Structure 1
Amino acid sequence: MLRDLLHPDGGGGDRFRIRLLEKVEEAVDAFSALRSNRSALRRAVVGVLREAGYNAGVCKTRWEASGNLTAGNHEFIDVIAGPVGGGGDPRRYVVDLDFAGEFEIARPTAEYGRVMEAMPRGVVVVEAERLRRAVRAVAEAARRSMKARGLSLPPWRKTRYAIAKWLGPHRRSTTSAVSSSAVVSGGGGSVGCREVGFDAAVSVLPPVTRTR
């Protein structure tokens, strides 16, 4: 299931997704000098994507503690694409440069090791609903693994917290007219961004319950 959800050749061969992944990987390779500065790397990648005509932005989710949900934040890239066939709602693709790294746990069981092996290493490009399903599956596998090892589940490993990382309320910024090449050649060391505000349309879970 995870391979079908997270690998670009799964789920019917989404050509837009495959081309987008190729472009992101090219940009990551081109800006490999920024790997130690993930924030700058994300902004450089967004600059490349926007220059190529994609509606890309850097998103930062942020949520307050609520119930059994611990406060937290996360940063990633998203790309908004037109609906298939010209009808329906726009499609939102989440782009994370180290998705699997967000799910590393201590003393994993063999089962959880197989779960990690099923996930792409490095860049992941996936539609929002597919991401939600994948995160739920991995978070549940992590819970079983930690329980089997006699470890308590920390708040930041709960399903609600994991989902909130990518699908919670977020602030989205897009590159300015500054070229993405400014990140490595000078220009203050970063690509200019403009804030577009929190997108209230994106919810973590149905109203009433919220998760990490």
Structure 2
Amino acid sequence: MICRSNSAESKIRNATKEAVKEIERSGGGCACGRSVLAMTGCRSCMMREVSGRLRNAGYDSAVCKTKWKSSQHIPSGEHTFLDVVQRNTKKGEVRLIIELNLRAEFEMARGSEEYNRLVRRLPEIFVGKVEKLQGVIKVICGAAKKCMKEKKMHLGPWRKQRYMQAKWLSPCERTMSMPLVPSSRLPKPKASMLTVDFLDKLPNRTALEVV
């Protein structure tokens, strides 16, 4: 893989993978009425479900939405992803970005074999600090630029490094789907998924939003 993970990142990635598997196994629908199986249904509902399960496991996770205006270099756009904020660390507050399908963000229909091979080395579920993601963006976007130059083709502005950086590094709005479960009151693993399902059915469930 292009990016290595430390123990904290690996732990959160495993929790994220388990959350995705739980959702896929449930075979249920999402709030908008569409299936969330295999991440082919509603992306926003999938992220909300995963974030809820991470919060139920004791992680300060939220759904993050970035928006940016057009400039002479890139068009306007918006992107949604997850994050986890860790505060009880020696380095103070640490924010980890979670992208449920990082490879898909860089795939190109006309990419060369060399470029496609590089993209395949990316983890499907990315968990890491902003600095690590910046490094990935720099490497992949540099490879995309080289690929298009060799093919004598135009590189779309949405493939450029500045645009990809805007997706995850622009100011974002954090929305939490459920209250955070205190670490001292964490439920047993088998009960954690049921707790989320139960909370989803409550009529007056409170949503927290931090901007």
TM-score normalised to structure 1 length: 0.78
Q: State the distance in 1 between where 2:72 and 2:177 align.
A: 36
Counterpart among 48, 59, 63 of residue 68 in structure 2: 63
Task: Work out whether 1:181 is the aligned partner of 2:197.
Answer: yes
Q: State the distance in 1 between where 2:46 and 2:130 align.
A: 22
Residues 1-212 of structure 1: matches in 2 within 5 Å? 3-5=1-3, 7-8=4-5, 14-32=6-24, 33=27, 34=36, 35=39, 36-82=41-87, 84=89, 86=90, 88-120=91-123, 122-177=124-179, 180-181=196-197, 193-197=207-211
Aligned residues: 183
Cα deviation, residue 21, structure 1: 0.7
Which consecutive residues of structure 1, in runs of 5 or more, have no partner in the other structure?
A: 9-13, 198-212
Identity of aligned residues (%): 31
Indicate the structure (1 or 2) with the bigger Cα radius of gyration.
Answer: 2
Kindly indicate whether the alpha-carbon contact (under 8 Å) linking 1:45 and 1:180 is maintained by their aligned counterparts in 2: no
Which consecutive residues of structure 2, in runs of 5 or more, have no partner in the other structure?
A: 28-35, 181-194
**Residue-by-residue CA offset, 1:116-153 (whole Å, 9 max, x unaligned):** 12111x21111111001111110111111112122101
Structure 1 residues 180 and 39, CA gap change in structure 2 (3 angstroms)? farther
Secondary structure of the corresponding residue to residue 67 of structure 1: coil
TM-score normalised to structure 2 length: 0.79
Secondary structure of the corresponding residue to residue 136 of structure 1: helix
Kindly indicate whether the alpha-carbon contact (under 8 Å) linking 1:93 and 1:128 is maintained by their aligned counterparts in 2: yes
Tell me which amino acid in the other structure corresponds to 2:18.
Answer: E
- Bigger drift between 128-137 and 111-120 goes to 111-120
Other-structure match for 1:206: none
Q: State the distance in 1 between where 2:118 and 2:43 align.
A: 25
